[in-house]
Structures are given as structure tokens and as C-alpha cells.
Amino acid sequence: MTELDTGEPTAQEPQSEGGRRAHASRRNFMRKVFFASGATAVVTMGGAGAFAAMADDTTGTADATASAAPSGAAGEGPGGGTGGPGNQSITEEFFGLTTDGKRVDDLFTIHSTGVATAPVISAANAFLAGLSDTQKSSTQFTIHSTEWRLWSNIDSYERQGVSLADLSDDQKALGTALLKAALSADGLETTEKIRKINQAAGEAIGNTGSFNEDAYYWTLMGTPSATEPWGFQFDGHHLVINYFVLGDQVVMSPCFWGSEPTSMEIDGETVSVCREEVVASLAFINSLTEAQQKVAIETATKSNESMKAGAFSDNTVQAYTGLRGNALTGRQKTKLLGIAESFVGRAKADVAKVKLAEVRKHLDDTYVTWAGGTGDDDAFYVRVHSPVVWIEVDCQAPGPLAGAYGATQGSGATQKHVHPIIRTPNGNDYGRELLRQHYLTSPHHQ
């Protein structure tokens, strides 16, 4: 199988212990899955939007699944749902989130946005230049790589790339500079807090082997460029950032920003994360009239996990449900936008502005579904779903880090364990629709 098919690195096998461990585990998994799959076209899911082979994974739909799933505990499945290599197929071609298995065309086009991508290009090149040859060979993939899709928020998942634990202080600083170039101050602070809580919680339960601040991995897809498509992925427990760049266009999804617990005392300081999305969600639901809440709230009971489109759920089909945006007042629409802003605002201001304009354009066709309570401390689930954005905020049951905050694993959903995610429906997660158009329209790819 070619590198394009497997998503394996472009150079020789890495020689470091960390690289060998990650490659052995992930390659065994990918071979079990991808070699078992066939190259099946997706014309049955809407021929006009089907991906050209040169811009899509060449693995097709198959019945094969990996023989061993990651060992996640209750409430800690990939993405917070039941997805994962053991019970979700990653052998199917990427299609994207849809409402009925058919993509809506013409939502995403190649055009100038005015976003300044030069700083992130420069930072990515500096990060790559700072890696050793063996580190680089385990970190850099082609832009088409299936590695984009092989992310997970669980701790026990073996990952590709180079981990923070394998980097020197200088190399870590170059990685931080890349995140700083891509993210807003809030976005960078959130990533650092998630890692900090992961370390402190691991210490609290005596398991820093699984839960620490360095078990986060870098991969880069393509070569940083001002004209050609490229991107990076940074993932680990409760933290996943996918960042695609084409010219001055950026797609930052899927992104997962979660934590257990969401607040801890660390070195005499209270460190909290996931508050923005929780507060914005509650502000929206409580801005609704009683009649509107009856439409939006599917159930007052919150299950231990409710997420629909976490890891390994790239092709989720979910019909619109709940309250539609055209039934909202201007004030309520502003509250709804506040949920999106809590996610989008973790990108640089110019990137966030472009995305929010896109979300606002489809606000009347945005649906909100709620489960659980509406009180300040109540556990809840909310899904914000439109043609161009998919957001879930899911208060989960205590998981493997329950002991860090005096909880009992699986004892009922809580705001102390939150799984939030943002995606781009209709084929543009990972910038895939822009990538498809680039390959179809660029003269040098004809």
C-alpha cells in the first residue's frame, strides 16, 4: 500500500524509542483496517460532491474493524461517544457530517479571506527545522494522509508523530510558537490549562504514566506553503486541534477542548477550563421562552454521554432536530452566536471573524438541541447544527480521573467532566472540500 493510502510518514522509519512505539502500534492498527478495505466510490452518497481520488483517502467502505480497541473507561470513549477503532469503521472514505447522507454543495469555495497565514507558515517551518531527521520522518505526512482522521481524545490511544515528551525544551518552545501563531491568547491558554489539569489530575490519582502534560503529539500534513495546502494536528487526552491552511483560508476543525476535572487547585491557584462554552450554552437556553424550550429540550434527563460526532465519527448522519434559528429573536440569536464564539474565538481574530461571518450567514437554518437541566450547575448536552458548523458540549459522567475530584466513576453526568467539540459539516472538516476544489481547479494539478 502506498504512503497516500496508509497515511504513513514520507521518510524512513523513526529510530527513537518513542517513535518506534507509536509507529508500531498505529501501523499495526492501520494495516489491519486499511488493508482489509477496498477502494469503493462514494457516488451513492451524492455524485456531484464525491471526492476525487487525488484529494481523498483511497480506502473505501468495508466491514473490517480493528481487532483491538483502545481501553477507555466509562465516559471516555473517543470523542465522548461510542466511537473508536473497535466499534466504528474508519475504513470508509471521508464524506463529512450530513443530515441525510448527501452533502450540500457550494457552501465552501476557494476565495480570498484576508487572513494572515504567513506567521503560522513561518512558525511551522521553524518547528520542522528544529526537529531531528528521525523526528521529522515520524511527524510529517502528505496533505492527503489518513492521519488527519486518526485522532482521539482518550488517554490510552497510541498516536503518530512526535510527543512533547520526546522534545527538548527548545523544540517544545518552537511547538508553542506554532500554537501561538495559530491560536488566540484564549486558545493558547486553554490548551495549556487542559495539559496542566491533566498533569495535576494524574498526580492526584497516582497515574502520571497515563495522565500528564507531555502526552500530546504533533503531526504536520504537507509542507508549509503560501500557495499549496498544508496543515497540522496536535492531539492528546482531552485536546485535539486540526488546522488546515490553503492560501489565506484556514479551517480549524475538528477541534476538541475538554477536561476532567474542569477545575482544580494547582499550586495554590484555581485553574479552570471549558467555562466559556458552558456559560454561553446556559445563557442561550435560559434566554428562551417556555414554549421555545419545549421545542429545544428533547429530554430533561442527561445520560452519562451524549456526543454524536466525536473521534472516528467523521461521516455521522444526523437530521436537524430541536429549535430552528428563524424562530429566535435578535437577542436570542446573539446568545446562540455566543456559543459559537466560545469555540471560534480560540483561533486568531481574523480566522474567527471569517468563521463567525459564515455561521451568522446560516443562523436562520441553525438548529439547537438540548438535553438535561438548565440550572447553573446542572449537567447538560447541547448540539448546535447548521450547514456550516456543528458544535457539541457534553457534560459527561466521571471517568478515569474521578478520584482527582472526589467523584465516583460513572456516577452521573457532571459539569466537572466536559467534552466540547466543533466540526465543519458537509465535507469541510480538515479543509477537505477546499482541498478537493484545489486539486480540481489548480492548473498544475491538471
User: What is the full DSSP assignment across 423-446?
Assistant: E-TTTTGGGHHHHHHHHHH-GGG-
Among the residue ranges 72-76, 104-108, 255-259, 272-276, the one predicted with the least confidence is 72-76
More confident residue, 17 or 142: 142
For the entire predicted model, the pTM comes to 0.85
Which set of grid coordinates corresponds to residue 393? 458540549
Mean pLDDT across the chain:
84
The pLDDT assigned to 273 comes to: 98
Phi, psi of 195 (to 5 degrees): -65, -40
| Band of pLDDT at residue 90, cut at 50, 70 and 90 | low
Would the pLDDT of 60 be above 60? no
| Band of pLDDT at residue 443, cut at 50, 70 and 90 | confident
What is the mean pLDDT of the segment spanning 370-389?
A: 98
Would the pLDDT of 132 be above 70? yes
| Band of pLDDT at residue 39, cut at 50, 70 and 90 | very low
Q: Are 36 and 60 in contact (CB under 8 A)?
A: no
Which set of grid coordinates corresponds to residue 80? 465522548
Strands, E, within 64-215: which ranges?
Answer: 140-141, 162-163
What is the mean pLDDT of the segment spanning 62-73?
A: 29
The bridge status of strand 367-372 relative to strand 230-236 is unpaired
CA distance 380 to 418: 10
Q: Tell me which residue of 125, 144, 148 sits closest to 136, measured CA to CA.
A: 125
CA distance 427 to 96: 4
> Which residues partner with 347 through β-bridges?
183
Would the pLDDT of 271 be above 80? yes
The pLDDT assigned to 145 comes to: 94
The pLDDT assigned to 444 comes to: 79
